[in-house]
Amino acid sequence: MYQLDEIKFFYFLLIIPIIIMVFVYNKYWKNRVIKNNFSKASLNYLVPEFSKTKDSLKLIVQLLAIIFLIIGLVNPKIGTELKTVTREGVDIVFAVDVSKSMLAEDIAPNRIEKSKRIVSQLINQLGSDRVGLVAYASSAIPVLPITSDFSSARMFLESLDTDMISSQGTSIVDAIQLSSTYFDDENQTNRIVCILSDGEDHEFQENLINTTIDDSGIIIFSIGVGSEKGSPIPIREKNIIQSYKKDEKGDVVITKLNSELLKKLADQSQGKYIEGDITSKVVEEIILQLKDMDKKEFEAKEFTSFKDQFQWFLALSLFLILLDSFLFEKKTKWIEKLNLFDDDK
């Protein structure tokens, strides 16, 4: 594993093609002047040690010196020690509803964006905990397994949208069943599933969900995203609302927050239901609940030491600069005997 300290210095590499173009032009100009004013015999008589190719060698050495100098300024670092550390925390799986009803704008900017904002703020407040991510509509799909890599969690969170599951509908039981598989430690004291949804589930089977919750031993924090007054579901094209979703009779569908269902989930699992209209209050309440829970010890591997490598590149650059100072634009006797540069052509 490596990291680069000062990437901005890579912009200096843009001077290399400029140097090459100036060299090519200067080379062309010199050859034209020599050809117009001197014959090959007179040139060999006047400057018998002049080499036509040594300047190209000097250019290569100079360019390499510049490249190594720039890499040294960037300061590449290499992770040299992989250390296993023991942490204490809670594993929490975020199950985010991505059905079309989550496009309703009764909570700004809309329900799904509000859900993503809540999860993002929660991740920012977590310490040594681990997170997982599930998306669900008519079915549930795994998005991110349990991990302590919060950067990856935020990246996958941003990828959630209402088009990732083609068949529509809402199946909370599938989300709970899939989320429960994320916890692979039988001795785990707390298994937290955070459901962010408007609670609309037209295929809700209370007995099945109760059995699933009891068997998995999970604790559910359900966050109601939406309003009980409800809102139509916009249909957009190029981010512009073209119309609203309608039912079979041609009436505009109004989707409403079903807080009662979400409260049942929380009560059945001895968790908590939270209204999702104010992000800061949701985050504060969940973090407060997590602090009172037993923490599980788990091991994580991480790079704990990055060593600077700039000195090697600066040393190579210095060596090439010194080498360039000993390269003269005249023939080298022992190399001339090998005829490597073929100066006679």
The per-residue DSSP string of 68-97 comes to HHHHHHH-EEEEEEEEEEEEEE-EEEEEEE
Residue linked to tokens 């969690």 = 153
Q: What is the pLDDT of residue 327?
A: 75
Q: What is the pLDDT of residue 341?
A: 47
Q: What is the pLDDT of residue 301?
A: 59
Exposed, middle or buried: residue 106 (CB in 10 Å: 0-12, 13-18, 19+)?
A: buried
pLDDT in tens, 280-298: 999 999 999 888 776 666 6
Angstrom distances, CA of residue 230 to CA of 202, 244, 246: 16, 13, 14
pLDDT under 70 in the chain at which residues?
A: 1, 43-52, 79-87, 185-189, 202-205, 294-305, 328-345
Closest listed residue to residue 94, CA positions, set 195, 165, 190: 195
Question: Helices (H), strands (E): how many in the chain?
Answer: 11, 13
Q: What is the pLDDT of residue 43?
A: 64
Give the domains, in start order, of the chain with CATH numbers.
Answer: 2-75+309-338 (no CATH), 84-300 (3.40.50.410)
Helix, coil or strand: residue 272: strand
pLDDT in tens, 77-136: 876 666 666 667 788 999 999 999 999 999 999 999 999 999 999 999 988 788 999 999
Q: What is the pLDDT of residue 334?
A: 45
pTM of the shown model: 0.63
Helix, coil or strand: residue 296: strand
Q: What is the pLDDT of residue 54?
A: 75
What span, in angstroms and rounded, lies between the C-alpha atoms of 283 and 137? 24
